[in-house]
């Protein structure tokens, strides 16, 4: 394969020799090309492929990197270590885990497994009425991301719960020979610390040998998306590269948008301080967007103070001006977006997969979906429950877990009634008690109960437990006779009664669930075919445990899906489209002004600005920004101010502003999936056959909003007037905005505080109607 053409900065990064290197790669500047070509050059200049470790954040990115390297290096690429942090650590622990108390067959608890374990522990300790399992796990996660024992990370609330639950949680993981995602990295980091063991510890020598081996295992360590690493991940790659100091980090501090899940932007910002001899190279030439779009992105991000100075540019000068649209409310915003996309599809050259609608929060998608359906625009919301989080898939995976590890109590508790077989919670409680009293695992207790050796379990439950134990024994026989992973899954679905139950239901939901189980079998078949040797269930469980939501196909054009994509900006990072709508650009919504744990107001606003930068740089040619003057939140209508980020846009990139008094349509009601009162006619397109096109004219009686908010209201209400509301009682008018039926009033009520209400729902306090 011919080598990619590199610009001077890219070539400098590729040809850098030994020593630390930081590549600051702006959006769309070809960082993957640089990373892959650099790795290929390292091999060609003498580095052994097995001595190279490349770490990414998604399995999809790792697979893409390996495929590109195969094109450049052939089979030599297969010897390299290329994978996510979690996959890399799992691989190291499979080989060296004995030094930190793990066997080679350890299992990985995913989010759902952790949730169920903590829920059980909270119930056992009586804390389940005080705090949710999600809150407890969030505390664990935040502390572990920093390498801190959660019991030491005091916050003043629920500290006693953490002190009690955390050691129980870790003890149960140890009992089941299991780790969570945080422990994968923490235990790998612990491999470098034999000093944590006493001199008399028989494993001290093994630990010391492991540490020495790992310190020289890799000659070159390269990390992609370095701005997304947390403190523990930074410590790990620093340890792996400590002996050679050949650490290459590639990232963009302007795209650090995951602080809420533990990412530490200072890792990239301070890299050249931690490695004072590091070479720093900036990639600023963009190959994705027009200069108009880049100028908009540069205009916003330059207001951040805590960043490496960069400015994106491109050879694609000019481009379409950026449109800003102000709607009266969120329905008007959605109506405008849907109408505009319908027109783009009808007039060409865009197809649905060329277009994305981005928003700050998932809650914004519903009204957009409704109006896109009314416009007959095919659309897909991305970010729904991932495949491996679906109940029926989780149930089968839990069966595989208990077949692979009979001590997996959490798996037992999930499948003992999946599908329902009449084994009640009281029976399971008695099994738990028997297990705690020395019976072993809960499955061991179930076997004893089936033989009438557990007190308090009657004849009916005992018979059902006997059938369940026989089911698991039969499935183990299937495995022992050489069944593949795919065949094992088929047997689980059939013998457990899942298939019969779902087929008997015969609903659209049950059919979808059966389709999901069929897809799981397909995934297992592909896994089985990867090796000539039989693959163990443990290996398949590891594969799917490391399949993160970020690996889901997020609707990029490569997927070939002919739908408009709707997604949050966080999910959109790394993707691109010819045309992008960014909606909800209002202060309080985007930027979000909510307080964040452990983050100052200024730091939070800078992250929001980085999020805007990411959103804008998803667009290649066409960018439309929308916001609404009012938005309904928890049933109340709130006045919204335009996002402060709109003020940061250079005037030269904006389309002609709407003239004062210009009218924008209020969204028509949607009845039976159609816009009420909007005329529709069918036209024929050679590419799509018959499609629906909507008349752009409004019905004669359709009300409109005025874009110009400075037009004085014509309402008779005045500031200071006393009014009454049927729910809130008497209050005083604070402010009035809008005209006619759209007049909105801010009223201060003695009990309810300030509320924004349509004037038509108010009466003067002395008009006798209250």
**What residues are labeled active site?**
31-32, 224-225, 255, 618
Assign 457 to helix, strand or coil. Answer: coil
Convert 305-335 to b/e letters by CB count within 10 Å (16 or more is b).
eebbebebebebeebbbbbbbbbbbbbbbbb
CA 261 vs CA 111, 184, 264, 566: distances in Å: 14, 17, 9, 22
Number of Cβ atoms within 10 Å of the Cβ of 558: 9
Helices (H), 535-663: 537-545, 569-572, 601-616, 644-647
Rounded distance, CA 228 to CA 312, Å? 21
Rounded distance, CA 454 to CA 456, Å? 7
Q: What is the DSSP letter of 737?
A: E
* Distance, first Cα to last Cα, the chain: 81
Rounded distance, CA 744 to CA 253, Å? 42
Helix (H) or strand (E) holding 633: strand 630-633
Count of residues in the chain: 770
Which pair of structure tokens corresponds to residue 510? 């049950």
Rounded distance, CA 15 to CA 640, Å? 51
Closest Cα partner for 616 from 644, 658, 577?
A: 577
Assign 674 to helix, strand or coil. Answer: strand
Beta-carbon contacts of residue 357 (< 8 Å; ≥ 6 apart): 337, 368, 379, 564, 565, 566, 567, 580, 581, 583
- DSSP characters for 23-57? EEE-TTS-HHHHHHHHHHHHHHTT--GGGEEEEES
Helices (H), 126-180: 133-145, 159-175
Helices (H), 74-158: 85-96, 111-125, 133-145
Q: Are 400 and 489 in contact (CB under 8 A)?
A: yes
Tokens 């600051």 correspond to 24
Angle between helices 601-616 and 291-301 (to 10 degrees): 180
Q: Are 187 and 232 in contact (CB under 8 A)?
A: no
Rounded distance, CA 95 to CA 589, Å? 48
Which pair of structure tokens corresponds to residue 476? 């183990």
Rounded distance, CA 544 to CA 524, Å? 10
Rounded distance, CA 391 to CA 395, Å? 6
Which pair of structure tokens corresponds to residue 737? 């905005």
Number of Cβ atoms within 10 Å of the Cβ of 659: 8
Q: Is 242 exposed, middle or buried (0-12, 13-18, 19+ CB in 10 A)?
A: middle
Closest Cα partner for 288 from 612, 620, 621?
A: 620
CA 365 vs CA 423, 557, 586, 636, 675: distances in Å: 40, 20, 16, 18, 18
Q: Is 206 exposed, middle or buried (0-12, 13-18, 19+ CB in 10 A)?
A: middle
Q: What angle do CA 529, 534, 538 make, to 5 degrees?
A: 100
Q: What is the DSSP letter of 285?
A: B
Can you say whether residue 768 is alpha, beta or left, with left for phi > 0 and alpha for psi between -120 and 50 degrees? left
């Amino acid at each position: 394969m011919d080598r990619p053409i590199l610009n001077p900065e890219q070539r400098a990064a590729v040809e850098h020799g030994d020593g630390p290197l930081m590549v600051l790669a702006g959006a769309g500047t070809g960082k993957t090309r640089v990373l892959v070509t650099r790795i290929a050059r390292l091999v060609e200049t003498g580095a052994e492929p097995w001595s190279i470790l490349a770490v990414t954040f998604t399995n999809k990115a790792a697979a893409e990197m390996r495929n590109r390297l195969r094109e450049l290096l052939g089979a030599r690429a297969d010897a390299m270590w290329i994978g996510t942090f979690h996959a890399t650590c799992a691989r190291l622990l499979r080989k060296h885990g004995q030094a930190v108390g793990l066997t080679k067959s350890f299992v990985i608890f995913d989010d759902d497994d952790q949730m169920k374990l903590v829920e059980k522990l909270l119930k056992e300790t009586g804390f389940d009425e005080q705090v949710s399992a999600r809150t407890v796990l969030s505390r664990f996660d935040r502390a572990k991301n920093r390498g801190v024992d959660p019991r030491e990370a005091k916050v003043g609330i629920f500290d006693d719960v953490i002190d009690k639950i955390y050691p129980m949680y870790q003890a149960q993981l140890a009992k089941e020979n299991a780790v969570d995602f945080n422990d994968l990295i923490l235990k790998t980091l612990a491999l470098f610390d034999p000093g944590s063991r006493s001199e008399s510890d028989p494993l001290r020598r093994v630990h010391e040998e492991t540490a020495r081996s790992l310190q020289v295992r890799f000659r070159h360590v390269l990390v992609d998306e370095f701005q997304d690493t947390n403190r523990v991940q930074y410590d790990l790659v620093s340890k792996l590269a400590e002996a050679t100091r050949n650490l290459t980090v590639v990232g963009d501090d302007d795209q650090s948008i995951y602080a809420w899940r533990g990412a530490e932007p200072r890792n990239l910002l301070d890299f050249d301080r931690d490695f004072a001899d590091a070479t720093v190279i900036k990639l600023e030439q963009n190959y994705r967007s027009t200069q108009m779009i880049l100028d908009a992105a540069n205009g916003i991000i330059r207001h951040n103070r805590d960043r490496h100075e960069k400015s994106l540019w491109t050879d694609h000068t000019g481009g379409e001006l950026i449109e800003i649209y102000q709607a009266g409310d969120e329905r008007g915003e959605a109506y405008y977006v849907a109408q505009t996309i319908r027109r783009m599809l009808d007039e060409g050259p865009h197809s649905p997969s060329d277009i994305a609608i981005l928003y700050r929060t998932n809650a914004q998608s519903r009204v957009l979906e409704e109006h896109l359906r009314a416009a007959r625009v095919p659309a897909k919301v991305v970010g729904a429950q991932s495949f491996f989080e679906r109940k029926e898939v989780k149930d089968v995976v839990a069966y595989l877990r208990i077949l692979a590890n009979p001590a997996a109590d959490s798996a037992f508790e999930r499948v003992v009634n999946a599908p329902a077989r009449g084994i009640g919670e009281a029976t399971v409680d008695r099994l738990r008690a028997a297990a705690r009293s020395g019976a072993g695992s809960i499955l061991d207790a179930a076997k004893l109960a089936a033989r009438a050796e557990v007190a308090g379990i009657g004849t009916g439950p005992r018979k059902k437990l006997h059938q369940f134990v026989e089911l698991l024994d039969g499935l183990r026989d299937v495995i022992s006779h050489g069944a593949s992973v795919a065949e094992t899954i088929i047997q689980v679905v059939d013998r457990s009664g899942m298939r019969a139950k779902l087929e008997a239901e015969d609903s659209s939901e049950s059919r979808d669930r059966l389709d999901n189980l069929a897809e799981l079998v397909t995934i297992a078949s592909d896994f089985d075919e990867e090796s000539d040797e039989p693959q163990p269930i443990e290996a398949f469980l590891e594969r799917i445990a490391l399949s993160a939501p970020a690996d889901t196909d997020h609707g990029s054009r490569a997927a070939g899906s002919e739908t408009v994509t709707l997604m949050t900006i966080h999910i959109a990072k790394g993707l691109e489209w010819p045309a992008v709508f960014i909606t909800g650009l209002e202060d309080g919504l985007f930027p979000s002004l909510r307080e964040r744990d452990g983050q100052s107001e200024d730091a939070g606003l800078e992250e929001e600005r980085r999020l805007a930068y990411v959103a804008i740089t998803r667009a290649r040619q066409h960018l439309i920004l929308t916001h609404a003057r009012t938005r309904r939140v928890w049933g109340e209508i709130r006045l919204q101010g335009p996002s402060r980020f709109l003020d940061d846009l250079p005037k030269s990139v904006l389309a002609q502003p709407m003239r004062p008094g210009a009218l924008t349509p209020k969204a028509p009601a949607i009845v039976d999936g159609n816009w009420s009162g909007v005329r529709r006619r069918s036209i024929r397109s050679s590419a799509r056959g018959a499609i629906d096109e909507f008349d752009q004219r409004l019905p004669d009686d359709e009300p409109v909003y005025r874009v110009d908010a400075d037009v004085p209201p014509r309402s008779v209400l005045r500031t200071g007037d006393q009014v009454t509301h049927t729910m809130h009682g008497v209050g005083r008018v604070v402010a009035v905005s809008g005209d006619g039926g759209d007049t909105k009033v801010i009223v201060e009520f003695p009990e309810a505080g300030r509320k924004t209400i349509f004037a038509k729902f108010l009466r003067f306090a002395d008009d006798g109607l209250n």
